[in-house]
């Protein structure tokens, strides 16, 4: 986590450097020299002050009662290191001294903090002044309560050498929860366990993502080909009428990407307002997707075939079957339940993932790429879009943060604390400071499923048309799985959010193209002409 803290500060600095150079092209050399000097000085300052790590404070009640609980802390290991194992940490009495800022000797208690960890308020003086007074008064550690965003407690080398007790920041909300849950008499232990290389929840995300792509691609391809071969049959029954697939044109691709860029930037600057719009859209779209996925199964049920009476209502004039009406009500109810309880971290993620996979399946069935040329254009444009908003935008934003990661995980300074629902999310199964403090869930965006999934659907349609025993479909699905594994490895090595399309797009495109070359069908695969040849035989 220390590298993450330094990278954020350095990213913001490079962004400011870029803006200064862009504003003063006439005096480029002078500006560059001055900026370079500041960059070196700031880098040394960052190395000295912005080293930070997430840790945990384990709280237990002195009077028994509830089982102990971990809370997030942010500490600077240059003050004092924390043990990596809770069994090696000392449990000490926590003394609530938040009525004081601990900025002068007058703020100290009459008998000091002998073998205690004081809890003081942030503000009015430096971290060094607080911890120096606490250490001189016999404290074994210091917790500083912050109502603002947690920042690493900085200092300089001389101060680091002088202090021998750990100092960490605790959020005000966590402090309130500690005293509400455990009372005023508590004991605490500070520790910082190692982060696991990979969390087991990645296996769950992998199965959900690959399963959605495989099922969606298979369903979309089979449905499209079936409709081509059944065009001469007519069945106007309400239950047989399905939504027509939408062919994606180059113009639609450009418009879609522009809309994505605009929406992402707007969310970055107006997150607290637009997040509710996205939540509402997700509720409607996911209910529709869930209905579309369950409808084929419900139609096969032997009961509920009766239709509602004749009427003039907008939807009911088609006289839907009773079972389909009940299904629609069920899907809306599931979506509403998620919308109401979306912030219940213990179980709401299950509903979100189920609705999200249904939404992705619905989109894969509805949106169709007519040629491999269209697939290549869409995937490459979104490939560049993903890289830009993850890796380039940190140099352009004032905070040095990635727009994509900031929006996907929710801004840390958001007043609403809402998260965008357009992701698959699974809670971390390993106990770690990162899971407790920064990212309690592992995320995979719907775009990382839908975009390669459209190519998988095209491969399946092409397989059936040229009677290739689904070799394109299987190869592209396996390539998607491999690309996802590469994404997870990159995430573990870099310990930062990754643009999944950076790995998924090359894997799926190159594999599909290689299969076409191997079968000597690249021409028809590129233009989709295999569809026209086979359809003309009907």
Model confidence at 12, in pLDDT bands (50, 70, 90)?
A: very low
pLDDT band at 52 (very low <50, low <70, confident <90, very high): low
For the full predicted model, state whether its pTM sits above 0.85. no
Question: So what's the pLDDT on residue 76?
Answer: 81
Say which residue, 496 or 401, is predicted with more confidence. Answer: 401
- What pLDDT sits at residue 14? 43
Kindly report, residue by residue over 322-368, the tens digit of the pLDDT.
Answer: 788 889 999 999 999 999 999 888 899 999 999 999 999 999 988 98
| Burial state string for 413-441 with b = 16 or more CB within 10 A and e = fewer than 16 | eeeeebbbbbbbbbebeeebbbbbbbeeb
Q: What is the pLDDT of residue 535?
A: 42
Three-state DSSP class for residue 139: coil
388 pLDDT above the threshold of 80: yes
Among this protein's residues, is 448 annotated catalytic?
yes
**Catalytic residue at 438?**
no
Q: What's CA 493's distance to the chain center, in Å?
A: 18
Report in angstroms the alpha-carbon separations of 138 from 79, 117, 131, 164: 16, 9, 11, 11
Q: For residue 90, name the pLDDT band (cuts at 50, 70, 90).
A: confident
Mean pLDDT of 14-37: 46
How far, in Å, CA of 24 to CA of 31, rounded? 7
Dist. CA 98–CA 120, nearest whole Å: 4
Tokens of 62: 């002195």
Q: Which two tokens stand for residue 441?
A: 């869930």
Enumerate the H helices of 388-528 as residue ranges.
403-409, 433-437, 447-466, 471-494, 501-518, 522-527
DSSP helix/strand/coil, 468 = coil
Token pair belonging to 412: 């840390």
Higher pLDDT, 535 or 374: 374
Q: Residue 438's pLDDT is what? A: 67
CA dist., res. 236 & res. 233, Å (int):
10
Residue 327 is encoded by which pair of tokens?
A: 């299904």
Q: Return the biggest CA–CA distance within the chain.
A: 96
Q: What is the mean pLDDT of residues 141-163?
A: 77
DSSP characters over 26-53: TTHHHHHHHHHHHHHHHHHHHHHH---E
**Sign of the CA dihedral 61, 66, 68, 72?**
negative
Of 432 and 202, which is predicted with more confidence? 202
434-460 pLDDT tens trace: 677 767 788 899 999 999 999 999 999
228-239 pLDDT, tens digit per residue, is: 555 545 544 444
Confidence of residue 73 (pLDDT cuts 50, 70, 90): confident
Average pLDDT over residues 447-476: 91
- 460 bridge partner residues: none
Chain position carrying tokens 């350095």? 10
**pLDDT at residue 318, rounded to an integer:** 66
Q: Is the pLDDT of residue 471 over 60?
A: yes
The kind and range of the H/E element at 291 are helix 271-298
What contacts 80, CB < 8 A, 6 or more positions away?
A: 163, 164, 165, 166, 167
pLDDT for residue 300: 84
- pLDDT category at 48 given cuts 50, 70, 90 is very low
- Considering 70, 199, 224, 448, which one is annotated as catalytic? 448
* Cβ 234 vs Cβ 474: under 8 Å: no
**pLDDT-based confidence at residue 484 (cuts at 50, 70, 90):** very high
Q: Which of 224, 353, 386, 463 is catalytic?
A: 386
Q: What is the pLDDT of residues 184-201, one digit of tens each?
A: 888 888 888 877 767 788
Band (18; pLDDT cuts 50, 70, 90): very low
What's 321's DSSP letter? B
Is the predicted pLDDT of residue 405 greater than 60, yes or no? yes
Burial of 74 per CB tally in 10 Å (0-12, 13-18, 19+): buried
**Contact present, 194 and 216 (Cβ < 8 Å):** no
C-alpha angle 62-64-68 in degrees, rounded to nearest 5: 85
Tokens describing residue 357 = 């996979």
Q: Are 522 and 516 in contact (CB under 8 A)?
A: yes
Q: Calculate mean pLDDT across residues 2-16.
A: 43
Q: What is the Cα–Cα distance from 415 to 102, expressed in whole angstroms?
A: 29
pLDDT bin (cut points 50, 70, 90) of residue 481 is: very high
In 3D space, the residue among 414, 328, 504, 400 whose CA is nearest the CA of residue 4 turns out to be 400
Provide the residue count of the chain: 538
**Dihedral over Cα of 91, 95, 101, 102: its sign:** negative
- pLDDT of res. 7: 42
Question: Mean pLDDT, the chain, as a whole number?
Answer: 80
Instruction: Give the pLDDT of residue 293.
Output: 92
Does residue 306 or residue 86 have the better pLDDT?
Answer: 86
- Helix, strand or coil, per DSSP, at residue 170: strand
pLDDT at residue 320 in the model: 73
């Amino acid at each position: 986590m220390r590298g993450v803290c330094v990278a954020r500060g350095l990213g913001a600095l490079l962004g400011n450097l870029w803006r200064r150079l862009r504003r003063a092209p006439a005096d480029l050399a002078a500006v560059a020299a001055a900026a370079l000097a500041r960059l070196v000085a700031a880098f040394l300052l960052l190395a000295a002050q912005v080293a930070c790590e997430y840790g945990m404070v384990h709280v237990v009640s002195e009077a028994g009662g509830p089982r102990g609980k971990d809370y997030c802390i942010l500490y600077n290991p240059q003050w004092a290191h924390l043990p990596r194992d809770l069994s090696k940490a000392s449990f000490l009495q926590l003394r609530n001294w938040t009525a004081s800022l601990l900025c002068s000797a007058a703020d100290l208690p009459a008998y000091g903090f002998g073998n205690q960890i004081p809890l003081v308020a942030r503000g009015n003086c430096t971290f060094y002044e607080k911890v120096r007074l606490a250490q001189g008064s016999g404290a074994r550690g210091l917790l500083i309560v912050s109502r603002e965003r947690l920042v690493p407690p900085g200092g300089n080398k001389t101060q680091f050498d002088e202090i021998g007790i750990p100092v960490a920041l605790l959020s005000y909300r966590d402090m309130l929860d500690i005293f509400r849950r455990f009372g005023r008499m508590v004991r605490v232990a500070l520790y910082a366990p190692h982060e696991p290389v990979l969390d087991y929840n990645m296996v769950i995300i992998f199965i959900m993502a690959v399963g959605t792509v495989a099922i969606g691609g298979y369903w979309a391809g089979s449905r499209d080909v079936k409709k081509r071969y059944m065009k001469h049959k007519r069945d106007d029954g309400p239950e047989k009428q399905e939504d027509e697939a939408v062919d994606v044109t180059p113009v639609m691709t450009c418009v879609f990407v522009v809309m994505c860029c605009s929406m992402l930037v707007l969310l970055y600057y107006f997150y607290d307002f637009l997040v509710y719009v996205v939540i509402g859209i997700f509720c409607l779209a996911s209910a529709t997707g869930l209905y579309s996925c369950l409808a084929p199964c419900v139609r096969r049920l032997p009961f509920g075939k009766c239709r509602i009476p004749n009427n003039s209502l907008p939807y009911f004039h088609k006289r839907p079957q009773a079972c389909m009406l009940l299904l629609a009500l069920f899907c809306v109810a599931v979506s509403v339940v998620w919308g109401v309880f979306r912030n219940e971290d213990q179980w709401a993620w299950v509903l979100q993932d189920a609705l999200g996979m249904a939404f992705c399946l619905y989109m894969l069935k509805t949106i169709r790429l007519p040629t491999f040329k269209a697939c290549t254009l869409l995937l490459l444009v979104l490939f560049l879009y993903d890289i830009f908003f993850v890796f380039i935008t940190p140099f352009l934003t004032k905070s040095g943060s990635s727009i994509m990661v900031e929006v996907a995980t929710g801004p840390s300074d958001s007043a609403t604390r809402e998260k965008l629902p357009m992701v698959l999310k699974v809670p971390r199964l390993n106990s770690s400071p990162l899971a407790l403090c920064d990212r309690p869930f592992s995320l995979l965006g719907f775009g990382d499923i839908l975009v390669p999934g459209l190519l998988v659907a095209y491969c399946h349609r092409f397989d059936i048309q040229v009677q290739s025993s689904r070799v394109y479909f299987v190869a592209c699905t396996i390539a998607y799985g491999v690309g996802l594994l590469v994404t997870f490895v990159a995430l573990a090595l870099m310990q930062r959010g990754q643009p999944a399309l950076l790995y998924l797009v090359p894997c799926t495109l190159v594999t599909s193209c290689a299969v076409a070359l191997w079968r000597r069908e690249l021409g028809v695969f590129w233009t989709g002409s295999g569809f026209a040849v086979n359809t003309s035989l009907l």
